[in-house]
Amino acid sequence: MAEPRHVCIIAHAHPEHSKGGGETAAWRQAEALRAAGWRVSFVAASPELGAQAARRPTPTVWRHGPDEYLYPFDGMTPDRLAWRDAGRRRALLDFLAGLGASAYHFHHYWRVGADLILALRKARPEARLVMTLHEMLAICLNHGQMVRTQGGELCEEARPLSCLGCFPEETIERLVIRRALLLQALRACDRFVYPSAFLRARYEAWGLPAARGLVLENPLSAAMMAAPRARADTPGIETRFAFFGQATPFKGLDLLLNAFALARAEQPGLHLTLNGASAEAVAALHPGLAPLIEELGPALAFGGRYRARDVLPLMRAAGWVVVPSRWWENSPMVIQEAKRAGTPLIVADVGGMAEKVRPGLDGLHFRFGSVADLARALLEAADPARRAAIAATLADATGPAEFLAAIAECYGGEG
């Protein structure tokens, strides 16, 4: 019997230590491939090991489990996304090349390094290099958000003069060189996987070759896909809204709470639960919201941190999942999870959110950044007939068979 093909998945963090979408998608892909009979090595950056390495010698790569490894990360130049410590990069390169995988799949380039990608291409010219893009860090210096640093307006295209408006300390020459270096590194990959058509369009307009691109949704876990999707809604569930995620400036919690207060003034029976964001974290991020949080009283609940296995039950307990983000959002995992749970969504009308949620079929859209229009959507959603109609047409998440077939093609054929 032939040996299974060997794929090495390289992530910017391990989901046991960081709960972001990119590392979660990388891990779920590893699980799906292993379940289908592939041999998968999972290699992830570890800032914790990097901190240890700064104080005392540590191994170049730490064995974390069967075919699972962590490497110390302790810094990367933000302009070129290259390793500060060339010696550590060479040691990681030697380890990766020594694995002998037939394909290396990068989930991100932050904490991986543009210079490492180029070096691996040279060291293993016969291997397939695949890159899943999760955001726009190479395109935009503002944390890859494509949001202007002054005023928070959405940015349509990264141009040197526009970028200088956000980062006046830069120069046009440095910005042009940065783009050229990062394009050179990314173009070393054989295929690019984009979780949304929106993200694909942004990267291809920036300079990545269209012929190598594939739009493929990130996979959900096997347990989530195996869970039955049927649900029996309780009366009044249409008035119960939920948010899932952390309290960060780009998640739009201020927008959501202000809109919820407006909607509740017109329809007092509405209820909102914030899962993953504590009252203290929200108040620290948005100090002006403290009086509103107190005023909303029991109509607003803080669900606290949640485990991955609890997501679907929590979503099924809600009538709607709200994604009020203040940036484009390329492919929020929460949208796929809500679809799998059978819970309709309310999302802003831009980027990956608008693409993933068909208005009137998977959920409702509101005008980006508008408190008044989000309040309007909340009130529309609270109509039982409206919710029942959308719940009946809500699409499910991408299935494992479709995902595995597309990934196998990226790696050069069947596994």
The pLDDT of residue 54: 63
319: which residues sit within 8 A by CB, 6+ positions away? Answer: 233, 237, 238, 239, 240, 241, 343, 344, 381, 387
Asked if 136 contacts 199 with a C-beta cutoff of 8 angstroms, the reply is yes
Over residues 136-161, the pLDDT tens digits come to 999 999 989 999 998 889 999 888 88
The pLDDT of residue 415: 39
CATH topology of domain 227-393: Rossmann fold (3.40.50)
What are the residue ranges in the chain where pLDDT is below 50? 1, 414-415
Q: Which helix (H) or strand (E) holds 377?
A: helix 371-381
Over residues 229-256, the pLDDT tens digits come to 767 788 999 999 999 998 888 999 999 9
Which candidate, 322, 311, 253, 324, places its Cα nearest to that of 282? 253
Domain definitions of the chain by residue range = 6-219+399-410, 227-393
The pLDDT of residue 157: 87
Q: Torsion-angle region of residue 298: left (phi > 0), alpha (psi -120 to 50) or beta?
A: alpha
The pLDDT of residue 72: 87
402: which residues sit within 8 A by CB, 6+ positions away? Answer: none
Task: For residues 79 and 60, give the distance between their C-alpha atoms in angstroms, rounded to a whole number.
Answer: 25
Task: For residues 220 and 210, give the distance between their C-alpha atoms in angstroms, rounded to a whole number.
Answer: 26
Would the CATH topology of 6-219+399-410 be identical to that of 227-393? yes
The pLDDT of residue 414: 47
Task: For residues 334 and 349, give the distance between their C-alpha atoms in angstroms, rounded to a whole number.
Answer: 16
Which candidate, 327, 343, 354, places its Cα nearest to that of 397? 343
CA atoms within 13 A on the CB side of 242: 27
Q: What is the pTM of this model?
A: 0.91
Please spell the DSSP secondary structure of 284-299, one letter per residue.
HH-GGGHHHHHHHGGG
CATH topology of domain 6-219+399-410: Rossmann fold (3.40.50)
Task: For residues 75 and 379, give the distance between their C-alpha atoms in angstroms, rounded to a whole number.
Answer: 47
